[in-house]
Each structure stands twice: as C-alpha cells, then as structure tokens.
Chains A and B, each alone.
Chain A
Amino acid sequence: MLFNKDGINSTAIRLFLICILTGSIMSSLFSTKKNTVSWLYLLLLTVISAYSGTFNFFDDNKQVFVLFVLFIVFLKGQKIVDIFMELIEAPKLWRRLLLGYVILLPVIIACIYLL
C-alpha cells in the first residue's frame, strides 16, 4: 500500500536521506553521539513499523502484527523519554511516570485489539 504513490514515496526517501546526512554532520559538529544514535534508532524503528504491514512480515497474522507495532511504540517511547527528554537523569518518580505511560498505553490498546 505504501508503494503505490510514487511522487510522495520519492519525497519520503529524499527526506530520509537528508535526515541521515544532516544528522551525520550535526553529530560531528556538536559531538552528540548519544542523541544521534537514538535518533537513527528511532528512524529505523519507524520505517520497520510502517513497512511491516506492507511486506506482510507476519503472514496476515493480525494479532502478532498489532503486538509487534505496539512493542515498537514502547521502544521508541522509551528512547524519547530517557534520551531526548533526559529523564534518565531525572528523579525516579518522573521517569517512572513517563515510562509508565509508554508501557501502559500500548498494553491497554493491545488488550482492546486482541481481547
């Protein structure tokens, strides 16, 4: 489904490449290795999540597909909370509140879809 609209597909590929290039430059300029690695990890997970349905990774097994996509949501959320929001260096209560959100919400949504 994602591959049917060529114009905007090529735009997405260009944007992705621009992101990689600018990130490499910024990383070398500002020595932000931790942020850059997290950002590349987030981009990779986003692409995997978006294309997992198109490439039918799970042989039309909707339940596994939903769990997979929601697990990726948790992985991405954890990275944003800990690295971008810098809550890894914050008091435990606040880190737990935000991490609880990115764990609980996907779990609730998974329960709604699967039960």
Chain B
Amino acid sequence: MRIDETHRKWFIGSLVGLAVAVVVYVPYSRSSPQGAGGGTTMGLIYGSVAFAFMIFAGLLGARKKVPIWRLGRAQAWMRGHLWLGFVSFPLIVLHSGFHFGVGLTKALMWLFAVVFVSGIVGAVLQHFMPRITTQRIPLETIYEQIGRVRLQLMEEAISLVDEAYALLHGDVSQANEQQRAASASAGTMGGLTVASGMQVDEEASAELKQFFQGEIQPFLAQSGSHGHVLADRNRAQAMFRQLRTLLPPNLHSTVDDLENICEEKREIDQQARYHRVLHGWLLVHIPASYALLILGAVHAVMALRY
C-alpha cells in the first residue's frame, strides 16, 4: 500500500497519540517508586491499549478472508493495521518500562521487535516496489501464473523454431508471407554471405538448433534465470545479433520473435524476484504476528492473574 496523503490523518493521529503517551510516561516514570513497569496502573494501561491495537492489526487477516463483510473499507483497515501496529510497539516499550524482562516477556519483546521491523520493511517495500515494478516490467503478469506463462513461452518458442527448421529444409508450406518474400533475396548483408532463397543450409540449421537447445530452451525451462547467459540483456542481444548473421534474412523475424520471448522471460523472472522481495517479508511478519498474539494473550492472562 502506498503511503500517500490519504494517510495524513492516521499519521498525525498516531504521532499525537504516541507523543501523549511519551509525555504521560515521563512524570509517571519519575513518580513510581519502583520505576515504570508493566504491573503499575499506567503500565497496564499502556499494555492494554497496545494489545488492543495489536489485535486490531491482527484482524486485518480475517478482514481479508471475508472481503464481503461490511466493516469498513479494506483500505481503512489497511491504514489502521499500518499505523496502529506502528504505534503499538512503542507503547509496549513504555508498558515494559524499557525492560525486556525474562522468560516469556523477553521472548515477547524479541518477537514483537521482529514483527515491528518486518512490518516497517514491508511498508517501505509496499510503498516503493509497485511503482518500480510497473516501470521496469511492462509485461507484468499475475505472479501465480508465471509458471504457466513460462510454459506458454516455451511452447511458442518451440513452434517458432519448428517453423524455421521447416523453412531451412525447404518445406515452404509452413512458411509465412514474410518468409516467402524474404526468400526471394540473396547475396551479401553487412559484408557477410547469407543464405539465399529457400536453399537448405545445414550449417545454419545446426547453428539454430544448437542455439535453441543450448541456450533458449534451458533459459525458458528454468524457473528464474540466475546465472544464465540469456538473463543478461546485453549479452542476449549480442548473441541474437550473431545468430541473425548465421541465418538467412527470411528467418530474422523468427529470431526477433525468439529474442522477444526471451525478453519477456527475463521480465517475468524479474517480476518473480520483485514479488519475492515485495511479499517475502510476509513470511516473517505474519507467522511471527500470530505467535505474538497468542503469547501476548497468554502473557496478559498470566500477568493479570498472578
């Protein structure tokens, strides 16, 4: 969620609430003979308010599970989750009197620190990453469909290469109009002798086969492309440029399409990486939050009872 001017009220409200809590804390801490602590009246107030905020923040998950609930807009819940969750950690620190305690309370403080930091990281990522993703990945697709799209790209590439084989081996019936037109020309391109007409060029066919099977197919088949030569746009462009020189002009459009497919594959790989960054923190934040809520409830019961 982008933190824009629509958050202003929440932001100001949170800061004011936090400032009040800190201002109240100073005289409370000084006047407490034993110092500030969770067991004092003020400590219990801080703890109760913070725990209420934590529960509200935790209810965001339930709210998302049932989007048809008419309990306020999802964006409002998200803002509440963000800002009340943000304020709850300092309140808990005030509740504890800046002590981590021992045993359960120590674990709770560390757990909350993990939830808080992961939440801050997540909020920052959610603010910046979507725009970056949109700018850098024009062919963005649904993350869960990336595997399916990759398979489709593979099928498309195989189809293109099969067409090219057919052309190189004289099967004109599979050639399209552009390939037929290109087949009329022959001679020299850029100082290199290129295949002409519909002649069978075994060497070109071998080069195409080698390039496709050796580079393109593994690249497309691989989920993610770390370390692959085609994952680098510049190197990929150079390789495709070289491939064009080895193939007759009537197949250059096929090479362009293959290069375009690889480009799209690079983009969805990048999208997958961005997605893992953009949502990976949730793998820490959500489980830790559940654990925090459960142990927090246990702590509240234990502390109030004893």
A, B in one complex:
no
B interface residue numbers (CB < 8 A to A): none
A interface residue numbers (CB < 8 A to B): none
